[in-house]
Amino acid sequence: MIAVLALLAPLGCGIQTGVGAILNELKPAPGAVVAVFGTGAVGLGALMAAGLTGATRIVAVDIVPSRLELARALGATDTVNSAETDPVEALHAISGGIGIQTAVDTTGVPQVQTQALEALAPRGSLGLIGLRLGANFTAPGRTLLHGLTVRGIIEGDSDIVTFLPALVDLVRQGRLPLEKIVREYPLDAIDQAAADSATGKTIKPVIRF
Ligand SMILES: NC(=O)c1ccc[n+]([C@@H]2O[C@H](COP(=O)([O-])OP(=O)(O)OC[C@H]3O[C@@H](n4cnc5c(N)ncnc54)[C@H](O)[C@@H]3O)[C@@H](O)[C@H]2O)c1
């Protein structure tokens, strides 16, 4: 059983960022197809938030099978292992050949950001959240001709005074099931927590001291 405070700890950054990107900024319309590239804490936050909207297909894209499995448990209707399958083709197929309305990149990998852009339908939106020092974002000119929007999002563009209490309420109601991604470690197991985070065994380690 995870203590309540440990459960709420990730709201302050990663979860706020992922959930806020969807609820505060990208706001997928009813019937939208949403794809989340990268299913760590930030991406899973975005994915759970998409489940609170009218989006009808929520697609998780990652290269780690266990993370895609967890994404399904948290509400993904479809998963794409982009180490095995071309995600652009897969997303066009899922959206009936139109392209998707909303994409979120949490990987910060330029090649993945291009894939997300190329998967968009005309007038679709891509939110850039993943940060990689020194990486540049480039967009092939032809992709932007379709009225696409690309938006960088910091901390979910949240007003923390209203947004954090709303997130706490959603957790209390079981609509943001953070217990599925948080694992608590004592301070003397901090190295283990870092190792489990690096291997992907634990999505969101929380150190108690
Ligand atoms: N913009 C902000 O305000 C803000 C706030 C918090 C975190 N971040 C950033 O968000 C990013 C994500 O954070 P996190 O805690 O979820 O990280 P994480 O490392 O747990 O998750 C990243 C995920 O991306 C996947 N991935 C990596 N390369 C991939 C590829 N080529 N194709 C598909 N998937 C790939 C990984 O398997 C992993 O599941 C980080 O870059 C972090 O710095 C940004």
CATH of the domain at 80: 3.40.50.720
Q: What pTM value is reported for the model?
A: 0.95
- Predicted confidence (pLDDT) per residue in 77-120, tens digit: 999 999 999 999 999 999 999 999 999 999 999 999 999 999 99
- State the closest ligand 1 atom to the C-alpha of 43, by its place in the atom list counted from 1: 16
Residue 85 covered by a domain:
yes
pLDDT at 8: 87
3-state helix, strand, coil in the chain (%, to 5): 45, 20, 35
Residue 121 covered by a domain:
yes
Residue 2 covered by a domain:
no
Are residues 170 and 111 located together in one domain of the fold?
no
pLDDT at 12: 86
Residue 119 covered by a domain:
yes
pLDDT at 28: 98
Are residues 92 and 23 located together in one domain of the fold?
yes
Are residues 188 and 146 located together in one domain of the fold?
no
C-beta 130 within 6 A of ligand 1:
yes
Are residues 176 and 90 located together in one domain of the fold?
no
Are residues 193 and 115 located together in one domain of the fold?
no
pLDDT at 155: 95
pLDDT at 3: 63
Residue 8 covered by a domain:
no
Are residues 97 and 29 located together in one domain of the fold?
yes
Are residues 188 and 199 located together in one domain of the fold?
yes
Given a cut of 70, the residues of the chain with pLDDT beneath it are 1-3
Tokens, residue 6: 């440990």
pLDDT at 141: 83
pLDDT at 186: 94
Residue with CA nearest ligand 1 atom 18: 40
Contacts of 199-204 with CB under 8 Å at 24 or more apart are 200/40, 200/64, 200/66, 200/67, 203/40, 203/41, 203/44, 203/67, 203/70, 204/10, 204/14, 204/15, 204/41, 204/178
Residue 137 covered by a domain:
no
| Distances in whole angstroms, Cα of residue 103 to Cα of each of 18, 47, 169, 171 | 12, 11, 26, 24
Residue 164 covered by a domain:
yes
**Residue 61: helix, strand or coil by DSSP?**
strand
For tokens 């960088």, name the residue: 152
Are residues 149 and 56 located together in one domain of the fold?
yes
Residue 76 covered by a domain:
yes
13, 42, 82, best to mutate for ligand 1 pocket (most atoms within 8 Å of CB)? 42
C-beta 20 within 6 A of ligand 1:
no
Are residues 48 and 72 located together in one domain of the fold?
yes
Query: Taking a C-beta distance cutoff of 8 angstroms, is the pair 38, 61 a contact?
Result: yes
Are residues 93 and 186 located together in one domain of the fold?
no
Q: Which domain holds residue 175?
A: 160-208
Count of domains observed in the chain: 2
Tokens, residue 142: 């032809």
Q: What type of residue is 4? A: V
Are residues 98 and 176 located together in one domain of the fold?
no
Are residues 106 and 23 located together in one domain of the fold?
yes
